Structure 1
Amino acid sequence: MAEASDLLKKLKSEGVEYCYASYVDVHGVSKTKCVPIAHFNDMVGGSELFTVGALEGMGLVGPHFDECATVPDLASATILPWDRRYCWFASDLHFHGEPYQNCSRVILKRASEKAAKRNLVFNLGIEPEFYVLRRTEKGLAPFQSETFHGPTPAYDLHQISLAGPFLEELTRYVEELGWGLYSFDQEGGHGQFEIDFGYTDAVTTADRLTFFRFMVKLIAHKHGAVASFMPKPFSNDFRSGAHHNMSLMDVTTKENIFDASKRGAGTLAHNYGLPVTDETLYFTGGLLEHAQALCAITCPTFNSYKGLIAQGEMPDMSWAPVLRAYGRNNRSAMLRLPMNRPCIENRAPDMSANFYLSSAFSLHAGLDGLDRKTDPGMPLNDNLYLSRDAAQRGRNLRRLPRTLLEAADALEESDFAREVLGAEFVDIYVAQKRKEWDAQFYMVTPTERDRYLTFV
């Protein structure tokens, strides 16, 4: 308890009055109780109990089950930059004194332990995209007071300047938190932004992205706006992606095993004309092999699959992947091997993901490829939206799931997912996603009625 005692002294000295021992539900939505600093030691010992069966997709359903306790990770202590009376902690759920097997953060920690047994650390950087919108009499509008006229406001200097009050406050807090902010920009969507900061181990990254969504929402509200992490808010505008940039560090050498500049290009990589290590390709092969089931985790909502399209109602290409494929620096493939950094970028995940789960299954899939030396096949380096012969050249080529139902079916049918995530968790998750599918799919919309009422 020495660590807790030292932290308590530090928090009191900085004026903290309340603590949040926070966990996430199956959707990645934060839950907590607020604990006065006087009861800090009780909180650390797991005093705060939660009836998780009352939440969607958490298991332990029924009034006869005992509660789960939150056990905060003291290393994750984060004093809120905008209100320093409060401190946030990422927490694990415990059930009957043991880590709860269906807790998202526990699932990721189990995956990280699997890598640690191989003397590896899974490092992850996520690129968060999101919309900031105003409510007007005519409906939702971009946060900026002046609308951009044209196909896309991407990188527009005037638009990002108009968003200054919101972005300046947000990025100041990101810097204060020590996350290594290195850029932010007006993204392709009207009122859409991306904030980029440094990578670290997957558990810490998932903690940070969970806190980031909490922070963005509050700052947007302060500025009279709504922050949205909905994957595809508008059918004619860009989706909000959350690209996962993945690498593995050898604990002994502190080297990234995907870094060919340090380790040299592998034999398989040389055969494919790629300046990467063979470990990079094996990990890629594992991600491709489990891609259909993985999509149920990285693209977890009904709305997600309205973003995994080539164009749809957009004026030009979507820049979102539609094919299970990889390529050298190819942004039209699911997996991209960037030439400016030694990592694997999965472009499919979106901002509705539970980042603990998306990280965990990504790591399991990649390690499976690494263990079995899975060959991902020939890279596809063309524009896959236009290429007519991609199917003939890409052995692993397949369409990513078109719907949440298709992805959920793939997850349910995956023996591998059941092995690494737990059969009970997969059943709970799939049941939740099918429930979400049913609620959306069977709804008859006004647009649908207008089209088909007198169609035949």
Structure 2
Amino acid sequence: MPIDTAAAPLAALAPVAPPVQAPATPVPSDAAPAPEPADLAELARGDGVRFLLAVFVDLAGKPCAKLVPVEAVEELRDNGVGFAGYAAGLLGQRPSDPDVVARPDVSSYTPLPFVRPGLALVHCDPYVNGEPWPYAPRVILRGLLRRAAERGLSLAVGAEIEYFLVRRDADGALSVADPGDTAARPCYDARGLTRMYEHLTAVSTAMNALGWGNYANDHEDGNGQFEQNFAYADALTTADRVITARYLISVLAEQRDMTATFMPKPFTDRTGSGMHLHLSLWRGAEPAFPDAADPRGLGLSPLAYAFIGGLLEHAGALQAVLAPTVNSYKRTGAVSTRSGATWSPRRAGYGGNDRTHFLRVPDEHRVELRGGDGSANPYLAAAAALAAGLDGIERSLDPGEPGDARATALRPELPPTLLHAVEALAGDPVVSGALDVAPGRGSPRTSGRPSARSSSPGTARSAPGRWTAISRRSDPTPFWPHTVAASPLSGPTAFRPHPSASPKHFHGQGDRNPCAESSGSICGSPPSIPGSANCSPPCSARSSSAAPTRRASRSTATRS
């Protein structure tokens, strides 16, 4: 919940010293010729870097890395660095598959002297056998950006990152890191900000040193909850920065004996953590959303309304990507919090500067997508949202009139659980198709795949706008929403998990302690340090206010 900038155009949010890809012209490199990139070796040596983290993320958002000494930077630049893909995480690989080779994108080079002297980070694109690996989230987003570029459009994204700062007490119970943070209405509390001054200013200083344009840092609505905002940029750059920001926030918190968790709902009685995305389309350097002649009064163009129409049309399926964990639905399903508001939408509606909507229109330049949370993979979230919006544009969808609370109550409900969201994803060829980009993994991909919504026996909706318990399925295999084998089939067996995704990877599935897994996404808190997870404290909290994570056996997970 950043400082309200609804009255200001997006250009007003640009930092004083703009980054390499200035927000004023957020054109992805896929859409327009870019200047000759700097040399990674020259950048690293010029900054006195001794080691580089070569980073990519898996489908669950886990950052994977190798620490490369500067003496080998030319090898990294020219040939990349190899990983055993199956061991790295959810990447659609088997143990027998060839290595994943991470090739650095020099435009993402990020020196990190505030983390460790001589350390830098560079985001990478995974390749296999010399080709971009189609299960890699960064590769998936690049593909959607190319599709938008074919229409002369580029996507700019701004992300709001919310998180909790916690500590473990002497008896092992989890509590907020600031013992004085007990106010009934802690949002924007100047005293709470001051007590966390050292951490917040360390993060802010790092963001501004990197040219991100940090413009606000605030205490959020929950005790122990904070948000730190930075300027928007093209979609790929913002997704990179979300991953880097989670890493920065977590490491800098650890330096002060705290744990930063981006888990959607670590405490039952407090507001959950979202990841709201501010989306805008551009034609070159010109914004495509504003239109002063808008008869609906929001100042939006027909293209903007069609984009909104696509997001609303596919809202149910989008939630499987924006809110991809069991814990996510403890946030969206909350009926009350200490502060009196949940700030999470329950229905697929849109309107003006009203934070109760799934889509908020704070001004004529952008649309805020409020369904996402801290467990979302930013690359997949941006890709899925863009796919939905482009479908709306291609079909000239009309979202209807912007709604107040009464009109929103008539809009369709969002999925109440992960199972319902995955059911919606399985029945939505547009959103699933944006992620299902890997032909040849078991069966050939075909175009024009029929929707599972029309052929599945039983649907998750029993009446317009109402969700019921998920239908019985002939195939009891649980779904993993981001790891699906390409298949021309429709119906209840169309979206089987990839062979590398064993039952332990499914959120809430199986009879094991989810915190024993190495992937932080099991409990909804993305790992913050490459190769490690920070989900254990929220999941294993013994305090009475910590949200339990319900476990379902495979025999009951798909029952109605």
TM-score by length of 2: 0.72
2:273 match: 240
Residues 319 and 418 of structure 1, relative CA distance in 2, 3 Å threshold: closer
User: Unmatched 5+ residue regions in structure 1?
Assistant: 449-456
Shift in alpha-carbon separation, 1:35–1:310, aligned structure 2, 3 A: closer
* Counterpart amino acid of residue 183 in structure 1: A
Partner of 1:195: 228
Tell me if structure 2 keeps the 8 A contact 1:71–1:92: yes
The CA RMSD measured in Å over matched residues stands at 2.5
CA distance in 2, matches of 1:185, 1:440: 39
Indicate conservation of the 8 Å contact 2:358/2:369, yes or no.
yes
Ranges in structure 2 where 5+ consecutive residues have no aligned partner: 1-34, 439-481, 486-494, 515-539, 549-560
Counterpart of 1:427 in structure 2 is 484
Q: Out of 264, 267, 272, which is 1:231 matched to? A: 264
Secondary structure of 2:278 counterpart: strand
The match for 1:259 is 290
Letter of the structure 1 residue corresponding to residue 219 of structure 2: Q
Aligned to 1:66, which of 94, 98, 115? 98
Asked if 2 retains the 8 angstrom alpha-carbon contact of 1:122 and 1:246, the reply is yes
Aligned pairs for 1:39-188 within 5 A: 39-61=72-94, 63-82=95-114, 83-137=116-170, 139-150=173-184, 152-188=185-221
Asked if structure 1 preserves the Cα contact closer than 8 Å seen for 2:41 and 2:77, the reply is: no
Paired AA for residue 367 in structure 2: I
Aligned to 1:292: 316
Instruction: Decide whether aligned partners of structure 1 residues 70 and 314 sit closer, same or farther in structure 2, where only a CA change above 3 A counts.
Output: same
Give the Å deviation of 1:53: 1.7
1:196 is paired with a residue whose SS is strand
Correspondence for 1:358: 381
**Do structure 1's residue 416 and structure 2's residue 430 form an aligned pair?**
yes
Which amino acid is the alignment partner of residue 437 of structure 1?
Answer: G
Secondary structure at the counterpart of residue 268 of structure 2: coil
Q: Which has the higher contact order (CA 8 A, sep 6+)?
A: 2
Aligned match of 2:350: 326
Pair 417,319 (structure 1): closer, same or farther in 2 beyond 3 Å:
closer
Higher relative helix content:
1
For residues 422 and 205 of structure 2, what CA distance do their matches in structure 1 show? 39
Pick one of 218, 233, 254 that aligns with 2:251: 218
Counterpart-to-counterpart distance in 1, 2:349 and 2:39? 50
Distance 1:377 1:5 in 2: 47
Mapping for residues 330-341 of structure 1, pairs under 5 Å: 330-339=354-363
State how far apart, in whole Å, the 2-side matches of 1:117 and 1:390 are.
34
**Aligned position for 2:509:** 438
**1:305-320 equivalence runs, <5 A:** 305-309=329-333, 311-312=335-336, 314=338, 316-320=340-344
Q: Flag the 1:126–1:314 CA change in 2: closer, same or farther, 3 A.
A: same
Deviation of residue 426 (structure 1)? Answer: 5.2
Shift of 1:415: 1.6
Structure 2 CA distance for aligned equivalents of residues 104 and 90 of structure 1: 12
Give the Å deviation of 1:371.
1.5
Question: What CA distance in whole angstroms lies between the structure 2 residues aligned with 1:410 and 1:208?
Answer: 29
What SS does structure 2 have at the residue aligned with 1:399?
coil
Going from structure 1 to structure 2, the CA distance change for 1:295 and 1:430 (only over 3 Å counts) comes to: farther
The one-letter code matched in structure 2 to 1:96 is N
CA distance in 1, matches of 2:66, 2:151: 37
Native 8 Å contact 1:405 1:437 kept in 2: no
The offset of 1:47, in angstroms, is: 4.0
Cα distance, 1:314 vs. partner?
Answer: 4.5
Please say which of residues 49-58 and 308-317 is displaced more in the overlay. Answer: 308-317
What amino acid does structure 1 have at the position aligned with 2:389? G
